[in-house]
Structure 1
Amino acid sequence: MHEMSLAQSIVEIVENTAQQNQASSVVAVKLIIGELAGVEMHALMQGLKIASQGTVMQEAKIEIERPGGTAWCLKCQKTVPIHRRGEPCPVCGSYQLSVNGGDDFRVSELELGDS
């Protein structure tokens, strides 16, 4: 399961950051996961629940920002919204699109507990 390895990586990043800052707990974790990141959100949340057990992240609130997908259309020369890779330009119908937003996947903020 791809999402489980992503969850484990998130927990590792959070644990390393908490350790570097001598924090005994993590209160909140903010993730940015774009609409086009190719992540099944329910599976990721289940993976985080499992992977965070027994870690400083165990009780953390998980906040997720979901930026919408965008692409540059080579034909009509516009940035357009898209919801899935492989769909046509909603303006001109062209498939000559280059994704330029909404494919993010990162830990953006941590709120650390008392040291």
Structure 2
Amino acid sequence: MHELSLCESLVSLLEEEMQKLGCGALKKVVLQVGPLALIEEGAMRFAFEVASKGTVVEGAELFIEWIAVRGYCLDCQKEALVYKIGESCPCCGGVMILSEEGKDLKVASIEVE
């Protein structure tokens, strides 16, 4: 479960940012995640809760936005937007979609008290 190590790093990053801003508590964090980041949403939420326990991040809401990436369908040879691994091509229904982007995992925004 690599989500736990990702969340431990995320919490450290958020704690540093909170200290720089001089804020007391984090209310909300929005992550943008690409389909090739191989994140399981339920595991990410659980790991965030575990990693943030006892920190200024504890109790913050975690929002996950899945971002689309351009993929290339090997069946119909067209480009298509893909949100999740294994998603079918919207043009032909094929499942052989290649993409070199979509490994992104970034903090899009935070909301503090």
In the alignment, what sits opposite 1:9? 9
Seq. identity, % = 35
In the alignment, what sits opposite 2:36? 36
**Does residue 110 of the first structure (1) align with residue 91 of the second (2)?**
no
Show the 5 A alignment for 1:61-76. 61-72=61-72, 76=77
Mapped to 2, the partners of 1:8 and 1:64 lie a distance apart of 16
Equivalent pairs counted in the alignment come to 110
**Does residue 97 of the first structure (1) align with residue 98 of the second (2)?**
yes
**Does residue 22 of the first structure (1) align with residue 19 of the second (2)?**
no
Cα deviation digits, residues 72-112 of structure 1 (max 9, x gap): 45883x42134426x88665769583333x43211111112
Mapped to 2, the partners of 1:24 and 1:51 lie a distance apart of 18
Task: Find the residue that maps to 2:53 and give its secondary structure.
Answer: coil
RMSD: 2.6
After the TM superposition, which of the residue ranges 65-74 and 22-31 deviates more from structure 2? 65-74
Deviation at 1:14, TM superposition (A): 0.7
Letter in 2 for 1:35: P
Q: Which has the higher helix share?
A: 2
Give the TM-score, by structure 1 length.
Answer: 0.76
Mapped to 2, the partners of 1:23 and 1:39 lie a distance apart of 29
